[in-house]
Structure 1
Amino acid sequence: MTATGLVPPFPAPPRAVRTALEHLRQTEDAGLEPAGLPLLDRPWDPAACTPHVRAQLWPWLEDVAGWLNATFGWQTAHTIPACWPAHPSLVAELAVLACLRAAAGDASSPHAMEEWHRYALPGFTTRMADRLGIGCPPGRHLDWPARSWAAAYDSSEAAEARRDRFDADTGHGRRTPAAGLSARHPQAVTP
């Protein structure tokens, strides 16, 4: 048996992350609604955290990704790629998974840990495999395959067409219906 034992220990959350999780637990214990407390950092949602918390969150998530790969990454589809910060879906999912694992490790019974192993971890690996497929091979980040689709969605023409449809549906605004809409069949689009 090595100094770390048969299973490497889960990386401890850094002080700012642990403090944020503790504040949220205290608000929950007090019966306060966390959704009504927008000033509290939520480490499972990095975009909602202050730069101070994110500065400690990123290295922790890096350690958690390494721990997951070393502990559970037997199949390549279950291994987090080295370029995970370049994949927004992985960043979001990894933050949730790490916070759930930290909470399960702090629980007073094994039920939360069993649920993490049964639901959270397999759900994460399944969604990661669904989103990335075989993903980014070691040393080679693949660009976002759907980039052109997202660019088309974000175009001013597409945004204007959507607003026209919304206005036509609600009768608001003075816009004319988008091309292809008919008064009789507003959902019909001509090719």
Structure 2
Amino acid sequence: MSTTNPLAAYQPFPELPAVLATYVAGRSAEEPSADGPPPWDIGALPPDLLDSLNEWLDPVCRWLNRTYAWQPQHVIPPCWHRHEGLAYEVAALAFARTDAYQDAGAAVVWHEQWDRFLTRMNIALGKAGEQCRVGRHEERPARFQLAAWPTSEPANGEAV
């Protein structure tokens, strides 16, 4: 009688691209060889690292959805990269996941981080999340409020 292992169908977490792995290793070495921002700080990364990060994070989101999204509000929308705050969160969560599985206790903590990520994602997306999750991205509804900010800081303590 042949039995199959149901755990054999589980997919591994997407592997970090070599250029990012080298960068991370260089930053965390005893004598760092890479000087620069953390790789999850998207806005501060140089183009070569940003390209590799972009190529990695989409498969990460797909893996997270396939592995953990059992309810609609758990789905990271396919337009995650068009929600700037969400993109930063996804990057940090992905790098935290690569570190967490070095230790069982850290893996448990990562799952708590996953739960908090879902809460923040759903607050940030609001009702737009429903449309985004089915492929109909909605731009930031509060964009007009951001346009009300002055273009620069007032000089010499002047009132706005």
In structure 1, the residue matched to 2:72 is 76
In structure 1, the residue matched to 2:8 is 5
Which of residues 108, 111, 115 is equivalent to 1:114?
A: 108
One-letter identity of the residue aligned with 1:114: V
In structure 2, the residue matched to 1:182 is none
Please say if residues 11 and 63 of structure 1, whose CA atoms lie closer than 8 Å, have aligned partners that are also in contact. Answer: yes
Please say if residues 14 and 56 of structure 1, whose CA atoms lie closer than 8 Å, have aligned partners that are also in contact. Answer: yes
Deviates more, 1:62-71 or 1:38-47: 38-47
Task: Give the 5 Å matches for 1:132-147.
Answer: 132-134=125-127, 135=129, 136-147=132-143
One-letter identity of the residue aligned with 2:154: R
Is residue 119 of structure 2 the alignment partner of residue 126 of structure 1? yes
One-letter identity of the residue aligned with 1:7: Y
User: When the two structures are aligned, how many residues end up with a matched partner?
Assistant: 154
- Aligned with 1:5: secondary structure? helix
Q: Deviations over 1:123-182 (max 9, x none)?
A: 1111000100241241200111010000011x34xx5xx626x71xxxxxxx5x55xxxx
> When the two structures are superposed, what TM-score results if normalisation uses the length of structure 2?
0.84
1:113–1:84 Cα change, 3 Å: same
Task: Give the 5 Å matches for 1:29-108.
Answer: 29=30, 39-105=35-101, 107=102
Larger Rg: 1
CA distance in 2, matches of 1:59, 1:7: 22
CA distance in 2, matches of 1:16, 1:38: 12
Which of residues 14, 19, 43 is equivalent to 1:16?
A: 19
Structure 2: 5+ residue stretches without partners: none
Shift of 1:16: 1.1
CA distance in 2, matches of 1:4, 1:141: 35
Shift of 1:78: 1.4
Deviates more, 1:74-83 or 1:3-12: 3-12
Structure 1: 5+ residue stretches without partners: 168-174, 179-191
Identity of aligned residues (%): 34
CA distance in 1, matches of 2:62, 2:118: 14
Please say if residues 20 and 41 of structure 1, whose CA atoms lie closer than 8 Å, have aligned partners that are also in contact. Answer: no
CA RMSD of the aligned region, Å?
2.4
One-letter identity of the residue aligned with 2:93: L
CA distance in 2, matches of 1:130, 1:102: 25
CA distance in 1, matches of 2:62, 2:106: 22
